[in-house]
Amino acid sequence: MTLQAPLVRFAGASLLALVTMPATPSLAKSPGEPQGFRVGGSSTVFPILREALRSYRSTGRQPGMRLTESGTTDGFRQFCQGKLAIANASRPISSSELKACARNGVTFIELPIAFDALTVVVNRSNDWAKLITVKELSRLWGKEAQGRIDRWSEVNIDWPNQPIKLCGPGPDSGTFEYFNKAINGSPTNSRRDFTASEDDTVIARCVADNPRALGYFGYAYYRANASRLRPLTIVGPKGPVAPSAEAVQSGRYLPLSRLLFLYVNDRDLRQRSDVRSFITHTVRNGLQLVDKAGYIPLASSTYRVVESKLYRHILGTAFGGDLPVGLPVGEALRRSIDQTRRPQYR
């Protein structure tokens, strides 16, 4: 079933009314255009790009494109060195990454592509943990827990006195940074004595293979492994809320709801017809691709506004190098696309 995000509005006007879409740019191959381009970064966003590539190929086009996943931080590292035409990201670009891009003359367009409910999961056989508070998550995952908190009963006295196995993203993952800022107050405030990977399928397998395990990752990876994993209800500022499309769209799933992004090298976009063709196809079909990948789509009208950022080459980030957490996704989305409302872009 296709998920529909609510239509984001500004002062009573729909986003669709804010922009007039220009004609589709020519997709003809430019003379002497180099062969192939690279797309990489977040393993969280990877399933969306994988679906986009399948969909693009179904139209009969065969891009010389290499799609990899290595984590958001590593993706930005390569992107700001000019090695990637498109970077997938599960968080906005940071201030240090902005400086790296500026040093190397890399300008970019920031495109929100989906909503995500960062999901805490346990093994299906776990019959004691149903919900977990933000305070308990912090007690379990913060730096001070390393070497100290290693049993379920040390997290919650009502849980069994059994060892707990932790599985989670590695430090090159945007999910690692987002989770730790949301739960522990800093992107780097995390214990390191857990099974870590930038590949979310590894984390899913880690929890699925151990009855006493707990882990966290993007919503799509829970949905893909729902027969083996069970999500925990998060007790946050809005009370106990389970991860779902409705909870994210309504702004109740805090502090673990977020936006997912694509970053496009503007020089590649202007000079390469294959990059223009692929990214246009991805954004234009975003709702279907995101839903098929297991994430939470933006509204169809919002994808039109995102597409206008692409056509108008609206450069830079709407987040100023910050990592906003505890912000309802609707507000984060408004911030991200507000650039299209500035007078010079109307």
Please give the average per-residue pLDDT across 103-128, as a whole number: 96
Query: Does pLDDT of 176 surpass 70?
Result: yes
- Residue scoring higher pLDDT (204 or 341): 204
Q: How do residues 262-320 score in pLDDT, each as one tens digit? A: 999 999 999 999 999 999 999 999 999 999 999 999 988 889 989 999 999 999 998 88
- Residue 131 φ/ψ, nearest 5 degrees: -140, 160
Domain covering 119-242 assigned CATH 3.40.50.300 in the classification = no
Degrees, nearest 5: CA angle 73-44-9? 100
Q: What is the mean pLDDT of the chain?
A: 87
Query: Does pLDDT of 57 surpass 50?
Result: yes
Between the CA atoms of 334, 84, 200 and 296, what dihedral angle is there, to the nearest 10 degrees?
30
Q: How do residues 148-170 score in pLDDT, each as one tens digit? A: 999 999 999 999 999 999 999 99
Tell me what pLDDT residue 35 has: 67
Question: Rounded to whole angstroms, how far apart are CA atoms 154 and 72?
Answer: 32
pLDDT confidence bin for 105, thresholds 50/70/90: very high
Tell me what pLDDT residue 335 has: 78
Tell me what pLDDT residue 341 has: 61
Query: Does pLDDT of 11 surpass 70?
Result: no
CB atoms within 10 A of CB 276: 21
Helix residue spans in 1-133 (DSSP H): 46-58, 72-79, 95-103
Helix residue spans in 6-80 (DSSP H): 46-58, 72-79
CA dist list (Å): 209 to 164, 236, 242: 13, 28, 23
Q: Are the beta carbons of 47 and 291 closer than 8 angstroms?
A: no
Nearest CA to 46 out of 149, 155, 162, 199 is that of 199
Query: Does pLDDT of 5 surpass 60?
Result: no
Query: Does pLDDT of 239 surpass 70?
Result: yes
pLDDT confidence bin for 226, thresholds 50/70/90: very high
CB crowding 159-178: b at 16 or more within 10 Å, else e = beeeebbbbbbbbbbbbbbb
Q: How do residues 185-203 score in pLDDT, each as one tens digit? A: 999 999 999 999 988 999 9
CATH of range 9-115+259-345; options 1.10.3720.10, 3.20.20.70, 3.20.20.80, 3.40.190.10: 3.40.190.10
Tell me what pLDDT residue 329 has: 73
pLDDT confidence bin for 207, thresholds 50/70/90: very high
Tell me what pLDDT residue 83 has: 96
Query: Does pLDDT of 342 surpass 90?
Result: no
Range(s) of the chain covered by CATH 3.40.190.10: 9-115+259-345, 119-242
- Burial group, residue 82, by CB count within 10 angstroms (0-12, 13-18, 19+): middle
pLDDT confidence bin for 23, thresholds 50/70/90: very low
The one-character DSSP state at 22 is P
pLDDT confidence bin for 22, thresholds 50/70/90: very low
- Residue scoring higher pLDDT (145 or 329): 145
